[in-house]
Amino acid sequence: MNLVQGMMSKKSANNNKPLATQQSVNGAIKSICDIMRRSNCAGALQYVPELTWILFLRILDERETREAEEAEAVGAEFTPSLEAPYRWQDWAAPGGAKRTELQNGALGAFFGFVNGQLIPHLKKLREQPNATPRQKVISEIFAGVERTRIDTERNLLDVLDKVHEISAEAVDPTHVFTLSQVYEGLLLKMGEKGNDGGQFFTPREIIRAMVRVIDPKVGETIYDPGCGTGGFLAQSFEHLAGPNNSRIQSPEELETLKRRTFYGREKDNAIYPISLANLVLHNIDEPHIWGHIPPSFRLFWQALS
- What is the Cα–Cα distance from 78 to 97, expressed in whole angstroms? 22
Q: Are residues 250 and 191 in the same domain?
A: yes
Residue 8 lies in a domain: no
**Residue 55 banded pLDDT, cuts 50, 70, 90:** confident
Q: Decide if pLDDT at 302 tops 60.
A: no
Question: Residues 6 or more apart from 234 whose CB is under 8 A from it?
Answer: 176, 177, 180, 278, 279, 282, 284
Neighbours of 84 (CB within 10 A): 12
Q: Decide if pLDDT at 116 tops 70.
A: yes
Q: Are residues 261 and 153 in the same domain?
A: no
Give the chain's domain count: 2
Range scoring the smallest mean pLDDT among 39-48, 54-63, 66-75, 204-213:
39-48
Domain that holds residue 19: 13-175
Q: Note the pLDDT of residue 2.
A: 39
pLDDT for 189-199, tens place per residue? 555 545 445 55
Q: Decide if pLDDT at 46 tops 80.
A: no
Q: Are residues 112 and 207 in the same domain?
A: no
**At 258, which amino acid appears?**
K
Question: Of 138, 159, 175, which residue sits at a domain end?
Answer: 175
Q: What is the CA radius of gyration of the chain?
A: 20
- What is the Cα–Cα distance from 69 to 75, expressed in whole angstroms? 10
Q: Are residues 300 and 230 in the same domain?
A: yes
Region 215-219: what's the mean pLDDT? 95
Looking up residue 207, the CATH number of its domain turns out to be 3.40.50.150
Nearest to 48 by CA among 194, 235, 200, 179: 179
Q: Are residues 208 and 279 in the same domain?
A: yes
Region 2-14: what's the mean pLDDT? 38
Q: Decide if pLDDT at 124 tops 80.
A: yes
**For residues 9 and 203, which has the higher predicted lDDT (pLDDT)?**
203
- What is the Cα–Cα distance from 260 to 275, expressed in whole angstroms? 17
Looking up residue 139, the CATH number of its domain turns out to be 1.20.1260.30
Residue 55 lies in a domain: yes
Range scoring the smallest mean pLDDT among 96-110, 167-181, 277-291:
167-181
The average confidence (pLDDT) of the chain is 81
Q: Note the pLDDT of residue 196.
A: 46
pLDDT for 246-275, tens place per residue? 999 999 999 999 999 999 998 888 788 888
pTM of the predicted structure, to 2 decimals: 0.79
- What is the Cα–Cα distance from 12 to 235, expressed in whole angstroms? 32
Question: Residues 6 or more apart from 236 whose CB is under 8 A from it?
Answer: 211, 216, 222, 262
Q: Are residues 113 and 187 in the same domain?
A: no
Q: Are residues 305 and 207 in the same domain?
A: yes
- What is the Cα–Cα distance from 6 to 153, expressed in whole angstroms? 11
Q: Note the pLDDT of residue 110.
A: 96
Give Cα 188 distance to the centre of its chain: 20
Question: Of 144, 175, 206, which residue sits at a domain end?
Answer: 175
| Alpha-carbon distance values, 37 to 114, 235, 301 (Å) | 20, 32, 41
Q: Decide if pLDDT at 16 tops 70.
A: no
Residue 3 lies in a domain: no
Q: Are residues 99 and 153 in the same domain?
A: yes
Please give the biggest Cα pair distance in the chain. Answer: 66
Q: Are residues 143 and 284 in the same domain?
A: no
Residue 4 lies in a domain: no
Question: Of 175, 196, 231, which residue sits at a domain end?
Answer: 175
**For residues 175 and 45, which has the higher predicted lDDT (pLDDT)?**
45
- What is the Cα–Cα distance from 97 to 130, expressed in whole angstroms? 28
Q: State the DSSP string of the chain.
A: --TTGGGPPPPGGGTT--B-SHHHHHHHHHHHHHHHHTTT--SHHHHHHHHHHHHHHHHHHHHHHHHHHHHHHTT-----S--TTSSHHHHTSTT-HHHHHHHTS-TTHHHHHIIIIIHHHHHTGGGSTT--HHHHHHHHHTTT--S-----HHHHHHHHHHHHT--TTTB-TT-TTHHHHHHHHHHHHHHHTT---------HHHHHHHHHHH---BTB-EEETT-TTSHHHHHHHHHHH-GGGTT--SHHHHHHHHHSSEEEE---TTTHHHHHHHHHTTT-SS-EEE-S--HHHHHHHHHH-
